Amino acid sequence: MAIQPLGDKIIVERLAAEEVTKGGIVLPESAKEKPKEGKVIAVGPGRVCDDGERSKMQLKKGDRVLFTSYAGTEVKFGGNEYLIMTEDDVLAVVE
């Protein structure tokens, strides 16, 4: 079974949180901040415009993206955690 987003939604898998700071301090689980970076797992077909045409999605599967702090809805599927968000929640693509 696969999961496919609708409209202008995307599914993102968060990247792992930093465990050690640049200064070498090991962070406990409670002090780790959820990363605002992830990998696009699936992309919807695009938003339906007023004229009935679908807009083209700017993101594609496999893109590494930065998103806002409170972006999306967290879901568990197949034992993994994902975020479902709109394309507008993405701030940038990391190349």
Q: Which of 36, 32, 42 is nearest to 65 (CA)?
A: 36
pLDDT at site 10: 95
Dist. CA 2–CA 8, nearest whole Å: 18
What letter represents residue 13's amino acid? E
Strand partners, 12: 40, 83
For residue 2, the model assigns a pLDDT of 83
Give the global pTM: 0.78
Domain ranges (residues) in the chain:
9-15+34-94
- What is the model's pLDDT at position 36? 83
- How high is the pLDDT of residue 76? 92
Contacts by 29-32, CB closer than 8 A, 24 or more apart:
none
The C-alpha angle with vertex 65 and arms to 62 and 71, in degrees rounded to 5, equals 120
Give the CATH fold of the 9-15+34-94 domain: 10 Kd Chaperonin, Protein Cpn10; Chain O (2.30.33)
| pLDDT at position 68 | 87
Across the chain, which has 95 residues, the per-10-residue mean pLDDT values are 87 78 64 76 91 90 91 89 92 92
